[in-house]
């Protein structure tokens, strides 16, 4: 391991410490169930990756590689040596045999990505390098190496291509709808793949506090003295449980165009996984090996994914998810729950109130034909 306590390029390293290496580890070890089921199914399709790689002439991979080579700084022993050390260490810890090329691109926006069809390349921006300290950056490098080990780079590159294609054919109604349907599905997978890679980053850094600090900095900048992990996680709790059904719908609409989960959500998910028995078993050396990947059952992976979604719905504090859970459980008064959930706008009844029952007798009620006619006005139509 290269974890010496010294200072390089203005970055102060923490004292040296030994990190566990996961020899032969399968990416299934840290993949989110929804991410894993999609990947297992795709890997089982004979020639799937080959077909997509055959389309490389249509995809912007070659131009991206040339762009980074010509207009970015390639990480090596001679350039950004501290990042090169982190990259080699991350590949060693996750037992990734071929170290992917890594570039630093001039961009004040903190960002990192792993793309490529033939082989993955990792790109980090100067904004990210300047924002994070040594251990926070180590988690990010591990995050991107996790993407490479999982084979995410192929599908992420396809998503970039399809997103650009959707913009070009926006004037073709049916063509745009078809492409956006694929893009929407890929984005849902993309968000789950980010949760998987966050776990890989934790396995590499093996420092939960550093991972949490990095996520807080992505949300609030380089002002750690003004931030608090517990308060940050409370935001995730409030985001999930707060509001009514209208807020639940807005959450969905806000999430759909995103490729990444919201930062507070990522922090809460990572902390929950770090405190799980699964994580402890991995750290104890009990994890799936790559040699077992071919024996993985697609149906088992889908069942695990479905079970994960069901558990999320059951345990969620989100109003819409609670309503879905109640429906599945056979809860009554669905109409009333929906009206109350939307704050009374659904049925015209004030929130937490019900309309009084009709106390008149049939004789007291006026027949419609005995009522005076109403003038139809625009206000009435509203």
**For the purposes of burial, counting CB atoms within 10 Å of the CB of 305, is it exposed (0-12), middle (13-18) or buried (19 or more)?**
buried
Residues 299, 293 contacting (CB under 8 angstroms): no
CB 112 within 8 A of CB 163: no
C-alpha to C-alpha distance for 64 and 117, rounded to whole angstroms: 11
Q: Determine the Cα–Cα distance for residues 185 and 193; give it in Å rounded to an integer.
A: 13
State how far the Cα of 269 lies from the Cα of 279, in Å rounded to an integer.
Answer: 13
Annotated catalytic residue 144: yes
Q: Give the three-state DSSP class for 123.
A: strand
Burial of 115 (0-12, 13-18, 19+ CB in 10 A): buried
User: Beta strands 112-115 and 121-125: pairing type?
Assistant: antiparallel
Q: Please count the CA atoms within 13 angstroms of the CA of 71 that sit on its side-chain side.
A: 8
Residue recorded with tokens 């994580």: 279
Among the listed residues 31, 134, 136, 144, the single catalytic one is 144
- Which residue in this structure is represented by tokens 């709808």? 177
For residues 320 and 309, the answer to whether their CB atoms sit within 8 Å is no
CA distance 295 to 17: 36
Kindly give the residue spans of alpha helices, DSSP state H, lying in the chain. Answer: 33-44, 48-54, 61-71, 81-93, 126-131, 134-150, 152-168, 173-205, 208-220, 229-241, 245-255, 263-274, 277-283, 298-315, 319-328, 334-341, 378-381
Q: With the C-alpha atoms ordered 254, 258, 261, 262, is the resulting torsion angle positive or negative?
A: negative
Q: What is the CA radius of gyration of the chain?
A: 26
Please give the positions annotated as active site: 144
């Amino acid at each position: 391991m290269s974890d010496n306590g010294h200072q390089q390029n203005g970055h102060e390293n923490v004292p040296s410490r030994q990190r566990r290496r996961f020899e032969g580890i399968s990416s299934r070890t840290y993949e989110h169930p929804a991410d894993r089921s999609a990947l297992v199914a795709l890997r089982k399709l004979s020639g799937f990756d080959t077909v997509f790689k055959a389309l490389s002439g249509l995809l912007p991979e070659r131009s991206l590689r040339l762009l980074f080579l010509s207009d970015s700084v390639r990480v090596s022993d001679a350039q950004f040596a501290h990042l090169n050390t982190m990259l080699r260490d991350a590949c060693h810890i996750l037992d990734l045999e071929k170290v992917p090329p890594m570039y630093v691109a001039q961009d004040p926006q903190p960002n990192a990505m792993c793309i490529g069809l033939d082989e993955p390349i990792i790109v980090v921006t100067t904004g990210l390098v300047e924002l994070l300290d040594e251990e926070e950056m180590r988690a990010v490098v591990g995050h991107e190496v996790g993407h490479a080990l999982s084979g995410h780079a192929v599908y992420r590159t396809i998503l970039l291509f399809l997103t650009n294609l959707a913009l070009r054919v926006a004037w073709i109604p049916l063509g745009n709808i078809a492409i956006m349907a694929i893009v929407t599905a890929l984005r849902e997978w993309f968000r789950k793949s980010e949760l998987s890679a966050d776990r890989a980053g934790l396995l590499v850094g093996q420092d939960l506090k550093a991972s949490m600090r990095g996520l807080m900095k992505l949300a609030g900048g380089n002002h750690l003295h003004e931030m608090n992990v517990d308060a940050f996680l409370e935001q995730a709790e409030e985001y999930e449980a707060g509001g009514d059904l209208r807020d639940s719908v807005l959450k969905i609409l806000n999430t759909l165009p995103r490729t990444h989960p919201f930062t507070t959500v990522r922090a809460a998910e990572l902390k929950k996984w770090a405190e799980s028995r699964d994580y402890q078993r991995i750290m104890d050396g009990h994890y799936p090996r790559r040699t077992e990947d071919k024996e993985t059952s697609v149906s088992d992976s889908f069942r695990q994914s479905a079970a994960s979604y069901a558990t999320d719905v059951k345990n969620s504090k989100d109003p819409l998810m609670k309503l879905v859970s109640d429906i599945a459980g056979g809860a009554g008064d669905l109409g009333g729950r929906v009206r109350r959930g939307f704050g009374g706008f659904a049925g015209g009844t004030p929130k937490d109130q019900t309309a009084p029952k009709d106390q008149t007798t049939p004789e007291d009620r006026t027949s419609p034909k005995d009522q005076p006619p109403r003038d139809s006005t625009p206000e009435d139509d509203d």
